[in-house]
């Protein structure tokens, strides 16, 4: 029997290698799916657009570039200050309500940028209830006598986006503060360093990589935004791409601007990595003691609680109360219209199909890196993740170019062979929206699943292979059951992002198909805010699901022994 074992093992080994190679090929296909829109964008941009850049440089581009740079700088500062300060507050101090504040600070993630702009345009309207109450208190009778600064401004856009996007800084920074060794804090206190000085000399320097990552994510979300910037009168490059394509029907010109925006995104990522290239920090987990918060007096603790709740009130509570109130008024006046029901069906259908496709490709990419580790699988993983860095408008243009060309090819082939026209087979069926959503959020899928697979010991792979399972058999019988939690979490995140996504859905949806996001955009653009309150509230209600999931992360308290 022992003499036959090597002979019997050879087919299994060859089969395993072949199966592993098949996963790598599938991973290459997933990477191709993501990179095709970028290649199509580049080819379309090469066609040129007569007089576009002369027109842009003379009229639009100076304002657009200036607004984009100012907006990015302002949002970066606001998110860094609010996110870092909030993370230090709930980590370094113990006060009444701290546990509640830890997860409450995540709630603004449930409010998409275009919804907070939509809400505050009505909340802070010159003849609205808020400004009316302020004038009543001050003794004024009309907006001509007193009115707050117009929210439709660069300052208003920076503040609103900052109060919604600061959790991107808060989450990684708080995680970094929690993992910092308590012995460092003890050493600082021994040297007479106060808790406030400890933040500047110990906490913040060690947390800079996390802060940089959070700011980069917040800025990429800012670049992806088209609704809030347009509602608030800020002409960013994303808005310019949209108007160049829709208003001027100039696809090559829009492609050129989109490529320029993509270069800005690449530069942002490069700057973020360069800024933390020499940041290294490691602790001995066996000897490390968690960071212990300092108990403060009750009056000071209540002050901390009020200050900590301010971002939550501005970024979530006020918009949520407004949307709930307006949605209830609308429901009492006209009930639940069939239009909302149809939009719910369209939204959930598109998001569900896109989630299934995205998670399937994410499984392929993540598993290929496990069974065939190396430079090739790592490169394919990076390529498949590049869509998340690209704004939705850029992805939408690339998808349009690819699928429109494929539609023409299929239609011409069907005419030549069967004498039948297929029409807009992909662009008219919703496949383009699903494709764009897959490209945008494949990074979330593959990243989350890869993290889940990394927690499974490789010894289980060896045991499975010893028992005669192939690589694919090991995936189905071992890895898939053990990574259900990671897959479920990734599915939830992808689904909610698909529901919230506005630019790609707005530009690629089939005719006469509306989702919650596109309905909200249309009503806000017309100024009929009350008409879209139910749709906006539905988006926020769905988006709060991953916030509840995130609130469970990092709830374990540091070891105080």
pTM score, whole prediction: 0.80
Q: What are phi and psi of 93, to 5 degrees?
A: -125, 145
Q: Which domains does the chain have, with CATH numbers?
A: 14-44+349-507 (1.10.3720.10), 48-278+298-310 (1.10.3720.10)
Q: Round to whole Å and give the CA distance between 41 and 48.
A: 12
* Cβ 223 vs Cβ 232: under 8 Å: no
- Each residue's pLDDT tens digit in the chain (561 positions)? 444 444 444 444 555 555 578 888 989 999 999 889 888 887 877 776 556 666 666 666 777 888 888 999 999 999 999 999 999 899 888 889 988 998 899 999 888 888 898 889 888 888 878 888 888 888 887 878 788 888 889 999 999 999 999 999 998 888 888 776 555 666 666 656 666 666 666 667 777 778 888 888 888 888 888 888 888 888 888 888 877 777 666 677 777 777 777 777 777 667 666 665 555 554 544 445 556 777 888 888 899 999 999 999 999 999 999 888 888 888 887 777 778 888 889 999 999 999 999 999 999 998 888 888 888 888 888 888 888 877 888 888 888 888 888 888 888 888 888 878 777 777 778 889 999 999 999 988 888 888 888 888 888 877 877 877 778 788 888 888 888 888 888 888 889 889 988 888 888 888 888 898 888 888 877 766 667 788 888 888 888 888 877 776 544 444 443
Q: Which structure tokens are listed for 167?
A: 């959790």
CA dihedral 202, 206, 207, 210 (to 10 degrees): 180
Q: What is the distance between the alpha carbons of residues 221 and 223, in angstroms, rounded to a whole number? A: 5
363 closest CA partner among 487, 465, 246, 464: 487
Q: If DSSP codes are grouped into helix, strand and coil, which group holds residue 438? A: helix
In the numeric block, which tokens belong to residue 491? 């599915």
Structure tokens at 450: 């890869």
């Amino acid at each position: 029997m022992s003499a036959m074992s090597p002979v019997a093992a050879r087919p299994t080994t060859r089969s395993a290698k072949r199966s592993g190679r098949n996963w790598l090929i599938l991973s290459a296909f997933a990477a191709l799916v993501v990179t095709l829109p970028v290649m199509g964008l580049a080819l379309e941009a090469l066609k040129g657009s007569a007089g576009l850049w002369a027109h842009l440089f003379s009229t639009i581009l100076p304002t657009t570039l200036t607004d984009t740079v100012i907006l990015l700088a302002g949002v970066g500062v606001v998110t860094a200050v609010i996110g870092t300060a909030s993370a230090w507050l709930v980590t370094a101090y113990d006060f009444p309500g701290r546990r509640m504040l830890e997860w409450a600070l995540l709630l603004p993630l449930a409010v998409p940028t275009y919804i907070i702009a939509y809400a505050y345009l009505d909340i802070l309207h010159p003849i609205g209830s808020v400004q009316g109450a302020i004038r009543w208190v001050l003794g004024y009778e009309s907006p001509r006598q007193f009115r707050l600064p117009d929210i439709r401004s660069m300052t208003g856009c920076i503040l609103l986006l900052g109060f919604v996007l600061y959790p991107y800084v808060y989450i990684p920074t708080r995680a970094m503060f929690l993992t910092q060794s308590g012995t460092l804090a003890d050493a600082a206190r021994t040297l007479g360093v106060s808790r406030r000085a400890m933040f500047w000399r110990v906490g913040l320097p060690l947390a800079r990589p996390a802060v940089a990552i959070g700011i980069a994510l917040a800025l990429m979300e800012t670049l992806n935004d088209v609704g809030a910037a347009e509602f608030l009168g800020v002409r960013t490059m994303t808005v310019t791409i949209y108007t160049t394509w829709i208003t001027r029907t100039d696809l090559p010109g829009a492609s050129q601007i989109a490529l320029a925006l993509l270069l800005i995104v690449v530069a942002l990522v490069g700057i973020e990595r360069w800024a933390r290239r020499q940041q290294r920090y490691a602790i001995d987990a066996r000897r490390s003691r968690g960071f212990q918060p300092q108990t403060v007096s009750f009056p000071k603790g209540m002050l901390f609680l009020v200050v900590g709740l301010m971002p939550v009130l501005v970024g979530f509570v006020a918009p949520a109360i407004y949307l709930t109130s307006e949605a209830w008024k609308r429901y009492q006046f006209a009930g639940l219209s069939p239009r909302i029901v149809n939009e719910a069906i369209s939204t959930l259908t598109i998001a569900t199909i896109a989630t299934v496709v995205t998670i399937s490709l994410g499984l392929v990419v993540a598993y290929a890196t496990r069974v065939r580790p190396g430079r090739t699988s790592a490169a394919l993983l990076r390529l498949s993740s590049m869509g998340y860095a690209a704004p939705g408008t850029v992805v939408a243009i690339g998808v349009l170019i690819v699928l429109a060309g494929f539609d023409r090819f299929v239609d011409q082939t069907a005419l030549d062979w069967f004498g039948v026209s297929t029409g807009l087979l992909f662009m008219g069926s919703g496949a383009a929206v699903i494709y764009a959503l897959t490209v945008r959020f494949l990074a979330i899928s593959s990243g989350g699943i890869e993290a889940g697979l990394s927690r499974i010991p490789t010894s289980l792979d060896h045991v499975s292979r010893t028992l005669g399972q192939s690589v694919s058999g090991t995936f189905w019988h071992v890895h898939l059951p053990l990574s259900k939690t990671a897959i479920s979490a990734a599915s939830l995140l992808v689904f909610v992002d698909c529901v919230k996504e506005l630019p790609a859905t707005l530009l690629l949806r089939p005719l006469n198909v509306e989702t919650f996001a596109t309905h909200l955009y249309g009503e806000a653009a017309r100024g009929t805010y009350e008409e879209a309150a139910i749709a906006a509230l539905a988006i926020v209600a769905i988006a709060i699901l991953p916030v509840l999931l995130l609130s469970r992360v990092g709830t374990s308290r540091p070891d105080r022994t």
